[in-house]
Amino acid sequence: MTFQSFNVEGAVWFDRDVDLLKQSLVHAPDLLIFTLCWESLPLEKWQHRLTALIEHAKSLNKQVVLIINSCYRNQHQQLLNCGAKQILFLDYFLLLVYVRLFQNCESKVAQSWDAKNSTWLFLTGKPNKPNRLEFLYFLYQQKLLDQCVWSLFVPTDLQAELERSLTGLTEFQASEWLHQFKRNPDNIEIVNSQSGIHYSGIPYGNVYESALFQVVPESQCTGTTPWLTEKTWLSIVNRRPFMIFGVPGTNHALKTLGFDVFDKFLIDFEFDQDQSINKRYESLAKNIQHWLKIFPKHEQELANITEHNYNRFIELAKANIDQLQTLHQDIHQLICLKDNIQHAQWKNWYNRIKDLSWPDCNQEKDFQNLPKWIQQECVEIFGYQPKEKV
């Protein structure tokens, strides 16, 4: 049966977009695949729009399959009320990381954990969140950055907001601190998108291989439903011990999926509980100090745990692929398994993957003019798909 896949991520938020999507369903095939994997807005904010969309499809004698992020699994019954013929819950960001690292080979994966490493990792991504810049400044105040490798981006359009978040400092002091502590250890380029700065975490150089452990500031640190993105999965697939600074209850969610969250080695659990942000800062700081002291004494046990977590990641990724293949379609046609924002900008993508010896290639149409061996490497190693006509 022929099908058409619709990413309703943006379409279900605004009524006018739903009306436009309804119009596009008229001439669509009899099987429609609706995907909603990237965002985590509360179900009650968009359920009625999705229901209206599915009802309209059914009125046209079309069947609807819904592929949705597994964070909504505990709301299965409410989703059934939307009227889809079938619902598939997908560990979307886990699968996205698996495809980009193991199929597209966009970055290397650390092969082992080493207790001899003396630094720990804190990659902040978008800085204007309380579990990012503000926590980094707290770590600075606690004198915990000496052994830390961190990232901090200070985009011009966020400069004033970031300065204000450094409470207790004058505007000049905050500006000077940001200038002194900005870092880019994985040599990435930020993409400016309509929703702000963007980076998907891949590629990341060798920052994981030299890290004793990682503190992961997830995309969300408040709410009721843990939201696991590539930030968590990159730590696990690179065999690092981790602490997730995310929505309270994230550790429980990971344990439910079969992962070890290193709780045997924690001395304070408030960082993953519904506490004030300052208490969570303090909890993480205590654990960081503790891990720096004890990890070299538990080398084999920690290596075994990181290997278990890696194997569980691979197992879940393959289970997600198997689930999608029950639809008897190419999974890449069902869902988007690349970073659309990143790949939409050719120059940014090419500059991130190019070797220093490669020539510049500022426009995608000039790809065919590159040496054949570079073209081959772009395709076979970095997953580029040449266009017949650009």
Strand partners, 195: none
HSE (side-chain half, CA atoms, 13 Å) at 161: 13
pLDDT in tens, 119-147: 999 999 889 999 999 999 999 999 999 99
Over residues 201-205, mean pLDDT = 85
Among residues 169, 192, 12, which one has the least CA distance to residue 84?
12
106-313 — its CATH code? 3.40.50
What does the alpha-carbon distance between residue 6 and residue 125 come to, in Å, rounded to a whole number? Answer: 29
| Three-state secondary-structure class, residue 310 | helix
Residue 97: exposed, middle, or buried by beta-carbon count in 10 A (0-12, 13-18, 19+)? Answer: buried
Over residues 11-28, mean pLDDT = 84
pLDDT (0 to 100) of residue 198:
72
Q: Mean pLDDT in the chain? A: 90
Domains 3-90 and 106-313 share a fold: no
How is the chain split into domains, by residue range? 3-90, 106-313, 353-380
Strand 211-217 to strand 3-7: parallel, antiparallel, or no bridges (unpaired)?
unpaired
Q: 360: pLDDT confidence band, cut at 50, 70 and 90?
A: confident
pLDDT in tens, 237-250: 999 999 999 999 99
What does the alpha-carbon distance between residue 123 and residue 140 come to, in Å, rounded to a whole number? Answer: 15
CB-CB neighbours of 282 under 10 Å: 17
Which long-range contacts does 271-274 make (Cβ < 8 Å, 24+ apart)?
271/243, 271/245, 272/244, 272/246, 272/248, 273/248, 274/248
Among residues 66, 104, 71, which one has the least CA distance to residue 88?
66
HSE (side-chain half, CA atoms, 13 Å) at 133: 23
pLDDT (0 to 100) of residue 60:
95
CB-CB neighbours of 76 under 10 Å: 11
pLDDT (0 to 100) of residue 387:
64
CATH number assigned to the domain with residue range 3-90, chosen from the 4 options 3.30.360.10, 1.10.10.10, 3.20.20.70, 3.40.50.2300:
3.20.20.70
